[in-house]
Amino acid sequence: MSLTMEEPTRTFQVVGKHDVQEDYKGSYRFAPIEEAQVSRAMIKRYFNTMYERAISDVVIIGAGSAGLSCAYSLATQRPDLKITIIEANVAPGGGAWLGGQLMTAMVIRKPADNFLREIGVPYEDEGSFVVVKHAALFTSTLLSRVLALPNVVLMNATSVEDLIVQTDFENRQRVSGVVTNWTLVALNHDTQSCMDPCTITAPVIVTTTGHDGPSGAFAAKRLVSMGLIKELGNMRGLDMNRSEPAIVNGTREVTPGLVMAGMELAEHDGSNRMGPTFGGMIGSGIKAAHEAIRMLDA
C-alpha cells in the first residue's frame, strides 16, 4: 500500500522555477508551500513505514548504547535484514548522553575503542581506556550512523507494551514480536481505557531496555510476570572489572526468540553493574547482533 500524494488543491497559483533566494541582508525567499504538503509528506512516510515494518526481521527494543551498537553491527553485517528499533523516549540514546554523575566525558575501556574508530568518534587515549570528550559526541555519531543505514527504521516516542509469545513447532513458548503503542498513550492507560496497541512481528527480538528509568528492564520483568522465567537475578553492586565482561559474554538468547543485552541483562542475570564506563554496552550490543544472525541462520 502506498498513499498517493495527489497534488493538493492550491490556494494560490505557483508556476515555474521557484523564486528562492538565500539572502541574509533582508530578502531571503523560500519556495512556496501548501500546509497540506507538509502534513502529507510526514503522514505518507510514517504510515508507509509502519505498514511495511509490521513484519520485520529483527526488532530492537530500546535505542540506548547497547541497542544502537547492536543495530549498527547487525545492519552493516546484514544489509538484507529489515531492522526496526522501538524507542520509548522522544530522544533516543538512553543513558549515553552523559558520562556519569551528569559529567560530560565518557570512558570506554579497551578493546571497545575499536568500535569508536569504526564509526569515527575521536577520543583521548589513556592507556587501558579511552575518553570521548563528550558522551553526546559518541551517541550522536552512533545515532547518525545507524539512522543513515537504509535497512534500519527507528520508531521513537513508541513503547513496547508487551511481547508476542506463541507456541513454536517444537512446542516451546517463543517470543515472536512486540506489542506497541505511542508512549504518550502507553503512559495514559490509567486515565483513558481501551486504547489498544498495535503489533510488529519478527523472528528475532533484541531487548536492551536498560536497568533504570520508568520502564527499565521491561522485557526481563515481563518474562517473570508471564511466567516464562521464575524471577529476576537483580543487578548486583558496582564492580567494573567483573561486570563488563560478564554482560558482554552473557549476552544471549535468554528465551526462544529473545536476545537480551546491555544493562537489562544485569537485572535478568544478577550480574554487577559497571557505573560510568560504556565499553560493555558496545560489546554487548555487538554480541547481540551476532546472536541475532545465529538465530536467523539456524
Residues that bind ligand 48N (CB under 6 A): 61-67, 86-89, 94-96, 159-160, 208-211, 213, 215, 218, 262-264, 273-275, 278, 281
Q: Which is nearer to ligand 48N, 65 or 84 (CB)?
A: 65
Q: Which is nearer to ligand 48N, 36 or 229 (CB)?
A: 229
Q: Which is nearer to ligand 48N, 15 or 102 (CB)?
A: 102
CA–CA distance, 98 with 36 (Å, rounded to integer): 39
Nearest approach in angstroms of CB 223 to ligand 48N is 13
Nearest approach in angstroms of CB 212 to ligand 48N is 7
Neighbours of 199 (CB within 10 A): 13
* 178 known ligand binder: no
Q: Which is nearer to ligand 48N, 153 or 281 (CB)?
A: 281
> What b/e readout covers 100-117, taking b as 16+ CB neighbours within 10 angstroms?
eeeeebbbbbeebbebbe
Q: Which is nearer to ligand 48N, 65 or 176 (CB)?
A: 65
Nearest approach in angstroms of CB 97 to ligand 48N is 9
CA–CA distance, 287 with 237 (Å, rounded to integer): 23
Q: Are 139 and 147 in contact, with CB atoms under 8 Å apart?
A: no
Handedness of CA 172, 175, 176, 180 (dihedral sign): positive
* 281 known ligand binder: no
3-state secondary structure of 56: coil
* 42 known ligand binder: no
CA–CA distance, 269 with 245 (Å, rounded to integer): 13
* 87 known ligand binder: yes
Residue 200 carries which side chain, given as an amino acid letter? I
Counting every residue, how long is the chain? 298
* 66 known ligand binder: yes
* 274 known ligand binder: yes
Binding-site positions read: 66, 87-88, 95, 160, 196, 211, 263, 273-275
